[in-house]
Amino acid sequence: MPNTVFLVAESSRAKLYKVENRRAPFREIDAMVHPESRAHEGDLVSDRAGSDGGTNGQGRHVFDNKHTAKDNEAVVFARDLANRLDNGRNKGEFDRIVLVAPPAFLGVLRENLSKEVLGMVSHQVDKNLVQKPAEALREFI
């Protein structure tokens, strides 16, 4: 496990751990939070979806986004995490990365990682383990 980091994340918080070898304890090197991802949808948007009056007797139509404001905030946080990993890669902080996140957020995170960082990902675990203590992570990974 030479120079490996574990990013354990969900849509509103993440922890970055460094592990020296397979038996060494996980050492937290960074913690990131994105409180906007935890906010209620109504707190993130200023008003309702737009609508039109309808034409030719078809009635009123509501314009609705396919993505909620909470989804958009998850993307913003994934970009922040991707930037953190890219900066770490540029500084030579690690050689390999293990990603641990719930399935939906893992997909959003992967979409935002650079090619270079994606090439460093050695494993992925699709579980939400961000609230687990560091010493408990090894049993899930």
Backbone angles phi, psi at 128, to 5 degrees: -90, 100
For residue range 20-33, what is the model confidence (pLDDT) as tens digits? 888 888 999 999 99
**Three-class SS of residue 36?**
helix
DSSP 22: T
So what's the pLDDT on residue 141? 73
Q: Which long-range contacts (CB under 8 A, 24 or more apart) does 77-81 make?
A: 77/11, 77/12, 77/14, 77/32, 77/34, 77/36, 77/37, 78/105, 78/108, 78/109, 78/111, 78/112, 79/112, 80/32, 80/34, 81/7, 81/9, 81/14, 81/32, 81/109, 81/112
Give dist(CA 18, CA 2) in Å, integer: 10
Give dist(CA 63, CA 71) in Å, integer: 17
133: left (phi over 0), alpha (psi -120 to 50) or beta: beta
Q: Flag whether pLDDT at 51 surpasses 70.
A: no
Domains and CATH numbers, the chain: 4-43+66-140 (3.30.420.60)
Determine what percent of the chain is predicted with pLDDT higher than 90. Answer: 59
For residue range 56-82, what is the model confidence (pLDDT) as tens digits? 555 554 545 566 777 889 999 999 999
